[in-house]
Amino acid sequence: MKVLVAVKRVIDYNVKVRVKPDNTGVDLANVKMAMNPFCEIAVEEAVRLKEKGVASEIVVVSIGPKACQEQIRTALALGADRGIHVETSEEVQSLEAAKLLKAVVEKEEPKLVILGKQSIDSDNNQTGQMLAALTGMGQGTFASEVVVDGDKVNVTREVDGGLMTVSLSLPAVVTTDLRLNEPRYASLPNIMKAKKKQLDVMSPEDLGVDIAARLSTLKVEAPAARKGGVKVADVAELVDKLKNEAKVI
């Protein structure tokens, strides 16, 4: 069974994000970039399926500038077999990303597509669902457990009321949640081997997809600084402040 995993290059989650002075976007100059944490979980799950003998090949795909090949190589070092880079310097929004992934799915014909449930830069939580709709595949989102059983995959989802298990016919799209697994670290020998693994580069034009933006960002602002807390002498003063200053009671 072939598994396709989508990964995204984002600002490292340990880095403090800075907004550009003109409020047109996030400042990416000299900022450490990394693989989206949810995408790391997706790669790990695919590797575990291969280790169980369920998956026979893992193909990793990323969309973006040439620098995205760094994240693809990381995925190859973690255990993926082959990489695909859809190279573009343009901003790729959720729908366009889903269309590009659809074209890759049609080309590769995987039985299972695994994506992170969202990226930590835009937090849209859209691409996996859009891809499932465009391809007509069943979808299991927010997965905390994935079990492949013959021509079906059982996905345990995290929902507000607890857990929900859905059974999907393959091929299917699965998006990963935090509690699905804990990603491994790539070893030095595997990092060296990853440099020799196949990595195909193509453009959106090669896939016949128009990636023209349909949404525009009007303004980006940093969150307002939190005000310092205050101490109150007793419950009466607390109630007074909640009533007259915060106006929440």
Find, among 146, 152, 145, the residue nearest to 167 by Cα: 152
Confidence of residue 28 (pLDDT cuts 50, 70, 90): confident
Rg, C-alpha atoms of the chain: 21
- Taking alpha carbons only, the member of 15, 17, 24, 21 closest to residue 220 is 24
The whole-number average pLDDT for the span 66-70 is 95
Average pLDDT rounded to a whole number, residues 42-65: 96
Tell me the pTM: 0.86
Number of residues that this document lists for the chain: 249
> Tokens 């699905």 map to which residue?
180
pLDDT in tens, 189-200: 999 999 999 999
- CA-nearest of 22, 76, 49 to 196 is 76
Domains along the chain? 2-244 (3.40.50.620)
**From the centroid of its chain, how far is CA 54?**
23
Cβ–Cβ under 8 Å, residues 70 and 83: no
